[in-house]
């Protein structure tokens, strides 16, 4: 899907894009191809939307219909759009060392637990928010696997590798049907 800014000055294409996103999360809403032409498919999609949302069924997008489409579209984006990324904030040279507490460690420890399930060589730490000995050990084990300096400390490079490995580790393991 094109970025929203590419539809500035193209209200029909914007309408069609919103209707298409709504259709992705609602199987009863007809989808349209955003071609910029307010043709029969667009009119049908608008009429269906109006009927399903208690609006006068005209197939024409007046202000009331537009505003309702925008509201439903924004909700649909949550369901079908990309998940908002989560970035931890570490200062450029910040290093979290053993014994230090930091709110980011809750997330790091949770990631290490998931990675420990995937890689037998990583031990799962408890979630404490403190870079304790088990967390330092798990970080060292992960750093060794990632070919990073095995310090047991959390720095930006270690975080970058954790963030890249985590999505792969969350893919469900295939069930062995043998």
**Residue 22 φ/ψ, nearest 5 degrees:** -60, -40
For the chain, give the mean pLDDT.
Answer: 90
pLDDT score recorded for residue 92: 87
pLDDT digits over 145-161, tens only?
A: 999 999 999 999 999 99
Higher pLDDT among residues 92 and 84, named by residue:
92
Assign 3-class secondary structure to the chain.
Answer: CCCHHHHCCCHHHHHHHHHHHHHHHCCCCCCCCCCCCCCHHHHHHHHHHHHHCCCCCCCCCCHHHHHHHHHHHHHHHHHHCCCCCCCCCCCCCCCECCCCECCHHHHHHHHHHHHHHHCCCCCCCCCCCECCHHHHHHHHHHHHHCCCCCCCCECHHHHHHHHHHHHHHCCCCCCCCC
What percentage of the chain exceeds 70 in pLDDT?
A: 92
Q: What is the mean pLDDT of residues 7-32?
A: 90
pLDDT band at 1 (very low <50, low <70, confident <90, very high): very low
Q: What is the mean pLDDT of residues 122-142?
A: 97
Helix axis angle for 40-52 and 11-25, nearest 10°, is: 50
pLDDT digits over 32-81, tens only?
A: 999 999 999 999 999 999 999 999 999 999 999 999 999 999 999 888 87
Q: What angle do CA 84, 85, 88 make, to 5 degrees?
A: 135
101 forms beta bridges with: 130
151 and 143 in contact (C-beta within 8 Å)?
Answer: yes
What percentage of the chain exceeds 90 in pLDDT?
A: 74
pLDDT score recorded for residue 137: 97
């Amino acid at each position: 899907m094109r970025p929203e800014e590419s539809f500035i000055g193209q209200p029909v294409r914007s309408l069609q894009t919103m209707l298409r996103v709504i259709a992705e999360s609602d199987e009863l809403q007809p989808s349209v191809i955003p071609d910029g032409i307010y043709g029969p498919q667009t009119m049908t999609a608008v009429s269906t939307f109006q009927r399903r949302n208690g609006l006068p069924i005209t197939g024409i997008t007046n202000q009331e219909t537009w505003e309702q489409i925008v509201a439903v579209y924004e909700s649909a984006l949550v369901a079908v759009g990309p998940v908002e990324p989560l970035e931890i904030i570490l200062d450029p040279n910040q290093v979290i060392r053993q014994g230090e507490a930091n709110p980011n460690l809750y997330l790091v420890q949770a990631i290490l637990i998931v990675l420990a399930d995937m890689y037998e060589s990583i031990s799962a730490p408890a979630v404490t928010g403190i870079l304790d000995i088990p967390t330092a050990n798990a970080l060292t084990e992960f750093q060794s696997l990632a070919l990073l300096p095995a310090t047991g400390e959390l720095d930006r490079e270690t975080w970058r590798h954790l963030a890249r490995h985590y999505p792969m580790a969350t893919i469900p393991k295939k069930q062995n049907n043998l």
